[in-house]
């Protein structure tokens, strides 16, 4: 793949903020020509100040860059008839229409799925929304903190029971997970079109994304259980004390995930210099450790408290078992695995790295995509109109009518 799997695919994106635009960015990563349609005032995400990566950052707005890398931007008022006409000219040459407008707004503009599929039968119509396109709340506004994290159950299940207020999610967690699902759905629809010649409708909601993320808890609820938040130290109530985090001498943590605990117990005891525990009747197998969970956890707490975080990382390198250091985000940036696999990429302009972004998790043939910069607001308006056959006189008339800036 010289330019990407989606080379030759045109995506018309009438969307804003994060969820759906990130899906477009993922397609652009692999070669799609994604035309991001922005209001004359710009995508409101351009004005969001958050975590020192948005408008509160001097220089590049990294939030906007991550959600819109590799696209072209046209500033267009589609609520005016000439602007809507431009949109339809774009759709006539498009493979995918990607939107997060709510159903009522799409219907008012004549851009609902039924209307566009009738007019453009090969078009893949993809929409992302908060709560799904059916039901009483189909037209309710929804961000990921509301539709995904709050209503979707994550805030409830992840908040310790001794906390007065639900925890808040990190920025755009649901948005970016939903975007992966939406990009997957679009890919599947494009594949189906090669077999049938017909487009289809792809739907992903933040609510559904939350439920998929919490599948284990959903399965428990379907089985008649009532999943509840875990207590602050759930290890002492666990079936397996070898699954959990343990605090080191310098107050850092190591996460053990010995799901096959009996497989790893003897080697673990050997590596940490406590061979005596391997055959201790209290801990000799999973059943024994389960019967003596609190005692086992207390013993491991004591052992982990004897060494520093760095010492534990070096010691456990000799153990072929699933464990990991609980890392900070800044440590993650320099993690040898992150570096070796190119999980953070450079956006290069005029031969010089300008800024860095997380790369899409998908790689082809051992390589991540080459990251492109995000467009300025309406940067490609005139270029795209010219491609559609508009003359300079036509473009001037659109400006005079307030359809383009």
Catalytic positions are 175
| Cα 277 from Cα 271, distance rounded (Å) | 12
SS3 at position 33: strand
- How far is CA 113 from each of CA 120, 160, 187, 191, 200, rounded to the nearest angstrom? 10, 42, 18, 19, 9
Question: Could you give the CA distance from residue 395 to residue 82 in angstroms, rounded to a whole number?
Answer: 11
Q: How far apart are CA 197 and CA 43, in angstroms?
A: 33
For residues 358-393, one letter each, b for 16 or more C-beta atoms within 10 angstroms of the residue's C-beta and e for the rest, the string is: ebbeeeeeeebbebbbbbebbbbbbebbeeeebeee
- Tell me how far apart the alpha carbons of residues 179 and 195 are, in angstroms, rounded to a whole number: 25
CA distance 384 to 73: 9
Give the span between the Cα atoms of 96 and 190, in whole angstroms. 9
**Distances, alpha carbon 267 to alpha carbons 259, 275, 321, in Å:** 14, 9, 9
CA distances from 127 to 17, 25, 71, 213, 397 (A): 14, 15, 18, 20, 32
Which of 123, 66, 118 lies closest to 92, judged by CA?
Answer: 123
The answer to whether 26 touches 98, Cβ cutoff 8 Å, is no
Cβ burial 18-29 (10 Å sphere, 16+ → b, else e): bbbbbbbbbbbb
d(CA 287, CA 49): 52
Q: Using alpha carbons only, what angle is made at residue 143 by residues 138 and 148, rounded to the nearest 5 degrees?
A: 85
Terminal-residue alpha carbon distance, the chain: 37
């Amino acid at each position: 793949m010289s330019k990407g799997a989606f080379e030759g695919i045109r995506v018309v994106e009438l969307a804003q903020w994060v969820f759906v635009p990130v899906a477009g960015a993922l397609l652009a990563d692999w070669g799609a020509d994604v035309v991001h349609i922005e209001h004359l005032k710009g995508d409101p995400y351009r004005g969001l100040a958050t975590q020192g990566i948005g408008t509160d950052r001097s220089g590049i707005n990294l939030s906007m860059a991550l959600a819109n890398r590799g696209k072209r931007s046209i500033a267009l008022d589609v609520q005016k008839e000439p602007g809507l006409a431009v949109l339809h000219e774009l759709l006539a040459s498009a493979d995918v229409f990607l939107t997060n407008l709510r159903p009522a707004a799409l219907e008012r503009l004549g851009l609902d799925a039924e209307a566009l599929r009738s007019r453009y039968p090969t078009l893949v119509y993809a929409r992302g929304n908060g709560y799904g396109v059916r039901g009483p709340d189909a037209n309710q506004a929804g961000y990921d903190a509301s539709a995904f994290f709050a209503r979707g159950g994550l805030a409830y299940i992840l908040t310790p029971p001794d906390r007065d207020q639900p925890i808040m999610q990190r920025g755009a967690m649901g948005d970016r997970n939903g975007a992966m699902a939406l990009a997957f759905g679009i890919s599947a629809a494009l594949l189906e079109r090669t077999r049938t010649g017909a487009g289809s409708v792809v739907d992903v909601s933040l609510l559904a994304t939350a439920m998929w993320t919490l599948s284990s808890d959903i399965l428990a609820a379907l089985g008649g259980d009532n999943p509840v938040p875990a207590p602050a130290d759930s290890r002492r109530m666990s079936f397996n004390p070898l699954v959990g985090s343990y605090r080191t001498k310098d107050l850092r943590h190591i996460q053990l995930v010995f799901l096959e605990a009996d497989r790893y117990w003897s080697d673990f005891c050997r590596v940490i210099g406590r061979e005596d525990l391997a055959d201790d009747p209290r801990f000799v197998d999973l059943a024994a450790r389960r019967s003596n969970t609190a005692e086992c956890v207390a013993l491991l707490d004591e052992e982990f408290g004897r060494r520093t975080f760095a010492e534990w990382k070096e010691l456990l390198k000799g153990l072929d078992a699933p464990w990991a250091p609980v890392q900070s985000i800044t440590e993650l940036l320099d993690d040898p695995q992150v570096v070796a696999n190119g999980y953070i990429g450079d956006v290069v302009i005029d031969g010089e790295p300008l800024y860095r972004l997380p790369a899409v998790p998908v790689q082809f043939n051992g390589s991540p995509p080459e990251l492109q910069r995000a467009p300025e607001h309406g940067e490609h308006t005139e270029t795209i109109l010219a491609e559609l056959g508009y003359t300079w006189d036509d473009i001037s008339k659109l400006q005079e009518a307030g359809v383009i800036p």
